[in-house]
Structure formats: structure tokens, C-alpha cells
Amino acid sequence: MVADRALSLGDFRHEALGEVSSTNAECLERARQGDPGNLWLTATAQTGGRGRRGRTWHSAPGNLYASLLLIDPAPMEALGSLPLAVALAVYGAVRRVVPPGSDLVEIKWPNDILIGRRKTCGILIEGERLTDGRQAVVVGIGVNIAFKPDLSNYPVTCLREHGASASPEEVFAGLFSSMVDALSLWKKGVGVAAVVSRWRYAACGMGERITVNLTDRAISGLFSGIDDKGLLLLTQDDGRRMTIAAGDVFFEQTGLEKE
């Protein structure tokens, strides 16, 4: 990342690819080969797209598949808030192309973008310590534009269903710009308070009853927001409040199927 000054569009590069296995995998390979970072890769399709927790991300032509390679984007202890900044960037890009009067665009903790409570975007952030000591972080983003995958665990939608006529290239142009704004606001983690403030404004379901699927169990309670570091605040039935750093959130009143 560029230090000691505000980021600009010119600090980032973009390379458009055809069909690849995974834009995230391609970015990591570029990092291993010495790429300095701030590199966007987009693809027309992916044969091995991945979501969180090893899930498959369906990647036929017509949607946006993009990954951003960052090198040493922040101290390790500050990287936990990066997903919130990324969510703001994708949220901004989606809002630009959805016509006024469409269903509400929101962020579901930590970084799913919903339209009308249906998922329209997947984000996968991966990291790797390189042999030269640098820390590579790859931000993978898939936006449902022309079609939506069939996901059993969560209702999904695509931009076309909400009146958006933008192409993948147009959506990416907005994302390219909004990511610069979001990372500039984040300031390598120093600006997390400003990111959290904007994230709360766009948050989905504050005050609603949720279930959070953790790696070893599921916990239910009221979604009380996020703390100043971006951790989810869950108020349990006995009144105790706990903070959660990672998990899958399901809003109970929507009747969504849980894994």
C-alpha cells in the first residue's frame, strides 16, 4: 500500500482475464512471483471459484469476478477490520447501479451485500506470508449481476432482478473507485472508527433476533450491532452480551434455512 498520502485511482492496476480457475488463486500466484500489490484481476468466468469455509462459488459468464491483491496493507493486528472496509466498497458499487426505488441495499455482518434481504455478493479474503516476508492479502469479490446461483443456506438474488442494467465492466468500474475511497477511509486500520460508523449506517438487522453459526456451535440472541473494532455484539436470552469475531449470521424472523 502507498504510505503517508491519500490513495488515488492511479495507485491501482487492473488486468482483465478470460476464464480462470480462481481470481484469488491468480492473485496469490502473482504475489509469490513478486508483484508489488494494488493489483485488480477480473475474469469472465471461474472454473474453481470459492466462497467462505470452502464453499463453491458458481462462476458462469455474466457476473462479476474480481480479486484485489494487497501487499502489507496494514499491521497484522489491524487486518481484522479490513472486511468492514471492503463491505463498504462493494455496498457503494452496488448502490450506484441499483435504480432508486428498488429494494433496500444493506450489509449483513461482516461483509455480505443484500438487496431485499437476499444475498447478491460473495466476498472471500485470504492471506499468505510470502517467502520474502511480505504479507499478501487477496480480496475476492463475486457480484451476481445477470444470474444467481442456487444456494440452499441463504436466499439469493442478482442485480437484474432489481432493475439494474449495468454490465460486469460497469459494476467493476464503480467498485474500482469505491474501493479506493474505502481503503483511504480505513487508513491501514487507523481509520477503523470512521469505517465502523459508515458500516452501521448500512447495517442489516440491528435489533433483530439472529443465529450465528460458529465453527463448533450455533448461538442465538439479539443482534446488538458491532463494537468499535467491528466485532459482532450478540445479546443472549439471559441478558449477557458477547462479542463474535467470525461466524455466519442468519436472521430468524425471515425463516431462513440454517446449515
Among candidates 110, 184, 140, which has minimal Cα distance to 21?
140
First CA to last CA across the chain, in angstroms? 37
Task: Write the CB contacts of 55 (distance below 8 Å, at least 6 apart in sequence).
Answer: none
Name the class of domain 9-202.
alpha beta
Domain spans in the chain, listed from the N-terminal domain onward: 9-202, 209-253
Same fold, 9-202 and 209-253: no
**What's the CATH number of domain 209-253, 2.30.30.100, 3.20.20.70, 3.40.50.150, 1.10.3720.10?**
2.30.30.100
Q: CB-based burial of residue 165 (10 Å sphere; 0-12 exposed, 13-18 middle, 19+ buried)?
A: exposed
Q: Higher model confidence: residue 228 or residue 94?
A: 94
Residue 215 has pLDDT above 50, yes or no: yes
User: In angstroms, rounded to a whole number, what is the distance separating the alpha carbons of residues 168 and 42?
Assistant: 10
Residue 259 has pLDDT above 50, yes or no: no
| For residues 43-72, average pLDDT | 78
Interhelix angle 192-202/168-186, rounded to 10 degrees, is 130
Among candidates 152, 157, 156, which has minimal Cα distance to 259?
152
User: Residues 233-250: pLDDT tens digits?
Assistant: 999 988 899 999 888 888
User: Residues 131-153: pLDDT tens digits?
Assistant: 999 999 999 999 999 998 776 56
Residue 257 has pLDDT above 50, yes or no: no
User: In angstroms, rounded to a whole number, what is the distance separating the alpha carbons of residues 80 and 148?
Assistant: 29
